Chains A and B, each alone.
Chain A
């Protein structure tokens, strides 16, 4: 399709200004060297352009989006309604506090509910993404050890099944990353953990349920080993959707964590963001929290403040405010009963799909899963040369967004499926049927699978070319 600049016709404006009735002057040439290249189109053409663009993409509004580890649940419309209330949109962070009491109440109330759901004692809503929350949590761990005068704790332990952001965040925070292997079930290898901890351990980062979709049954032992060695435990909230309202990271022995509001709490995700990654902690770390802290003042309502030994600001102002409003709306709508029911349905949906597929698609790990499961196409690739990538691409022809591919790294030819709780049984059945059909197609005509998808606006993209020579801006002909 044509870009908006390519649809442009000089002089075809949407707005016609009245005749100039003041003297015309020329701006200093230094202020503007040449005319800006702005597209000139009537409104109807702009509308059609963006409608056409939206048709070229694939979102949860178009069908099931089982992208494992990403929790691509439906974003309820009521979230948008509350976030668009003028009391939330027509405010500025620098307004006098007495005029933004409602906004401050949103912060306080969201923090209160998130602590209840997670078993933490305090939250900063400032981090603007999951990895940003991780980075914040690691800075809290660092500040804690240094505040005790302990400068020897320079290492963060990360299991080999972790999200890539974990070691990246630890390195960003100035720690050395120690990788430990998982055992045959994808759980933390307790002996490897015991061997890795010591007086240089700053902490452990863990996702639970882990990245293969299993709840680690040794979780209390794991956090115990780290604590005994003097380290802290960081909970990556990427998979919180599986346990929210049922099991709390705070009760599992974790000291710090982040939540992806754009996963678990139904705010837009991916290109529709922005994200929000609140960072929570136990009381003994709360004095280090970044950014704005909302407190109750005697008789005058809510006031803004800072934590006593704050690590500073992680971004401007209080965070992605309207995203926080949407997440709070979601929590209110679900309530105390709806939050655990959501987690149960997410787990049920994943297990239902897994059971319907496991006779054809080998599962990477045995037994019931949590909110997602991992299939391995290793045998299929060996026998037919049809890879996980080919299967993923074939799904696009059926209007299904592919699952996460080649992750976790410990599983070869991995496809990681997370249907989420928002899909109905009918939709799950349809997706299962499609996956079974593709499997049969792959066996019948393996060569044809390398050509998929056939019906999408673009087919196989040149990922190597995009990574080696990225073109990230439009270049005008002149």
Chain B
């Protein structure tokens, strides 16, 4: 299973790519595998606030509907609208299929690096 070194991770299996004052957020390959084939993604709202540890959207797979938590606090600058018509991109390339781009970041503490996330997956 791939766990890119340049990303940060949460225990609820989201990834964050910090780029200066902005960040991209998506779900990990582990999450995508566990969920199974995704059939629907609820798009978040541009301009809305996200709070660390709270759901900002949900995804639907053939098994269930699941919340996607925000790993950081800030404002949604952009939404990846491509996912609405092509949720399969999340299964195909989870680290490219970002859900939201966040700016005005106020809290990005307490995230795991790739090694810590890998160790965490071992415990599951």
Contacts and interface: CB of A to CB of B under 8 A. Distances in A.
A177 to B, nearest CB: 10
Interface string A457-478: 0000001100110000000000
Contacts of B40: 467-468
A60 interface: no
Number of contact residues on B: which range applies?
10 to 19
A467 B63 contact: no
A464 B37 contact: yes
Nearest to B86: A468
Contacts of B64: 164, 406, 409
Interface in B24-81: 37, 39-40, 60, 62-65
Contacts of B63: 406
Interface residues of A, number: 7
B62 A467 contact: yes
B87 interface: yes
Contacts of B37: 463-464
Contacts, number: 19
A463 B62 CA distance: 7
Nearest to B64: A409
Nearest to A464: B37
A373 to B, nearest CB: 20
B39 A467 contact: yes
Interface string A399-437: 000000010010000000000000000000000000000
B62 to A, nearest CB: 5
A466 to B, nearest CB: 9
B110 to A, nearest CB: 20
B62 A464 contact: yes
A139 B37 CA distance: 35
B67 to A, nearest CB: 9
Contact of B65 (A164, A463, A464, A468): A164
A154 B39 CA distance: 31
A205 to B, nearest CB: 17
B88 to A, nearest CB: 8
Interface of B: 37, 39-40, 60, 62-65, 87-88
Closest 7 CB pairs between A and B?
A467-B39, A464-B37, A463-B62, A406-B63, A468-B39, A409-B64, A464-B62
19 contacts: A164-B64, A164-B65, A406-B63, A406-B64, A409-B64, A463-B37, A463-B62, A464-B37, A464-B39, A464-B62, A464-B88, A467-B39, A467-B40, A467-B60, A467-B62, A468-B39, A468-B40, A468-B87, A468-B88
